Structure 1
Amino acid sequence: MTIRVAVIDDQTLVRQGIISLLSLAPDIEVVAQAANGADIVALIAQHQVDLVLMDIQMPQVDGIAALQLLASAGVVVPVIILTTFDDHERVLQAMQAGARGYLLKDVALEVLVDAIHQVKNGGSLLQPAITDKILQSFLRQSPSPSPAQAPADALSAKELEILRLMAAGFSNREIAQSVFKSEGTVKNQVSAILLKLGVRDRTKAVLKAIDLGLLGS
């Protein structure tokens, strides 16, 4: 089944470059494009968009404001944020506003296509290099949590190790290879972590862990 994508970026060369890349993917079709997020709700409805690739920094209505427009309208469409290394604080805001992942603008075609499939199928996307910057920035700003803020069921040392690998953007398979466990075992541990943190997906688990100070040194 073809995945229908909208690309929203104010930089024409970047937008056209991404569209050109995606034209090489047989099961992905760019059905809409825009220079800012002002008309994102109408764009998605008109073109039956399955997924949005969107810049953070844009004139008029930026990526975060566009995510808020989607939330206000009750429109549930996965959004991948396009970013640079200098945008790490804004990326965190975008994730909190509902983005399902983020990619660097100079991403390779294979990575971009894999990301679109992963997010379209319900996953989240966290690139390790940017994730580290986000974590460090947030940890510098956040006070240490009080005991009352800790999750009801404390995570075990092994679960904290898994959580840190999740924050670094590793898939279940990659985590399994890192900790010398089966992929099924890791999947069960990830499910247990989500349950203990009271969240539904990996992205929210990482954000919750940051908020609780679980990823600090």
Structure 2
Amino acid sequence: MTSVLIVDDQQLVRAGVRMLVESTDDLVVAGEAAGGAQAVELAARLRPDVVLMDLHMPGTDGIAATASVLTRNPSTRIVVLTTFDDDDRLYPALAAGACGFLAKDVEPGAVLDAVRRAAAGESPYSPAVLRRVVARAAEDWAGAERRATPETRFTGRESEVLRHLADGLSNAEIAGRMHLGVTTVKTHVSNLMTKTGSPNRVRLAVLAIQRGLA
């Protein structure tokens, strides 16, 4: 059973997410927090597997709360809940340790999928948000291109994995597209991170854009 902590300053949002999580057999709501400070306290006490973290909250915001939660419980997986005007906060949230981000206007099933993927060690991203982040990050993270110099060669399959990463596909979705096992895809992603010095899938997606692969 995967436990979920819901963090949002809007009660209606929390109630909606709670109802969604409680409709499943494999997920359970560990608790709710209306702000960042409360989220840090509850995460330390309840030790949830996954935190759904709003970014824009009064007082301690989602970025500071993410950093504090992970300082105390590094194994906690934090998925950021974002709106269109939160783009400037996504980079700091990723730097603070969030494993992915999810647009608040996605289909309900996508929220459950993101929680399950996060709990499984993946990095769930809303494809539309990922494209915006990648487009804005390509110049800011030009260092990734310098680390992956022209001498850094990718195999054909690694290049294909990069293209799919830039589209925001999960490991399972990539495996289906490429007719590979999920474990094999995870190995390719890990190898790509090692080759390029990329700390996460967003940086790999930026690299795919820079290399003209997506």
Could you say whether these structures have the same fold, taking a TM-score greater than 0.5 normalized by the shorter chain as the test?
Answer: yes
- 1:165–1:113 distance in 2 versus 1, CA, 3 Å: same
Q: Which residue type is aligned with residue 182 of structure 1?
A: L
- SS of the equivalent of 1:54 reads strand
Counterpart of 1:28 in structure 2 is 27
SS at match of 2:200: helix
| Partner Cα distance (2:92, 2:51) in 1 | 17
| Matched residue, 1:156 | 154
Counterpart residue number, 2:101? 102
Which stretch shows the higher mean deviation, 116-125 or 159-168?
A: 159-168
TM-aligned CA deviation for residue 123 of structure 1 = 1.1
Give the match's secondary structure for 1:154: coil
Q: Which residue of 1 aligns with 2:180?
A: 182
Q: Is the 8 A contact 2:81 2:104 kept in 1?
A: yes
Q: How many residues align?
A: 209
**Distance in structure 1 (CA, Å) of the matches to 2:30 and 2:144:** 48
Residue 149 of structure 1: how far off its partner (Å): 3.4
Query: What is the CA distance between 1:70 and its match in structure 2?
Result: 2.3
Q: Distance in 2 between matches of 1:138 and 1:104?
A: 18
Distance 1:189 1:19, change over 3 A: same
**1:136 maps onto 2:103 in alignment:** no
Q: Could you say which residue in structure 1 is the equivalent of 2:121?
A: 122
4+ residue runs of structure 1 moved beyond 6 angstroms? none
Within 5 Å, give how 1:1-217 maps onto structure 2. 2-73=1-72, 75-139=74-138, 141-142=139-140, 144-145=142-143, 149-150=147-148, 154-156=152-154, 158=156, 159-178=158-177, 180-183=178-181, 186-198=185-197, 204-207=200-203, 210=206, 214-216=208-210, 217=212
Q: Distance in 2 between matches of 1:129 and 1:112?
A: 14
Tell me how far apart the structure 2 counterparts of residues 123 and 33 of structure 1 sit (CA, whole Å): 23
CA offsets 1:116-138 (integer angstroms, 9 cap, x no match): 11111111112211100001112
Q: Secondary structure at the match of 2:12?
A: helix
* Percent sequence identity over aligned pairs: 35
Offset from partner CA, 1:49-94 (integer Å, 9 cap, x none): 2211110111101110111212443543111111112222312221
Summarize the Cα distance change of 1:143–1:41 in structure 2 as closer, same or farther, 3 Å threshold. closer
CA change 1:90–1:164 in 2 (3 A) is farther
Give the Cα–Cα distance (whole angstroms) in 2 for the partners of residues 114 and 102 of structure 1: 12
Paired with 2:62 and 2:209, the residues of 1 have a C-alpha distance of 27
What is the CA-CA distance between 1:209 and the residue it aligns to?
Answer: 6.0
Q: 1:198 to 1:54 in 2, by over 3 A?
A: same
Gaps of 5+ in 1: none
RMSD of the alignment, in Å?
2.8
Distance 1:151 1:71 in 2: 32
SS at match of 1:215: helix
CA distance in 1, matches of 2:93, 2:141: 21
Letter of the structure 1 residue corresponding to residue 116 of structure 2: H
Report the Cα distance in structure 1 between the residues aligned to 2:18 and 2:141, rounded to whole angstroms: 42
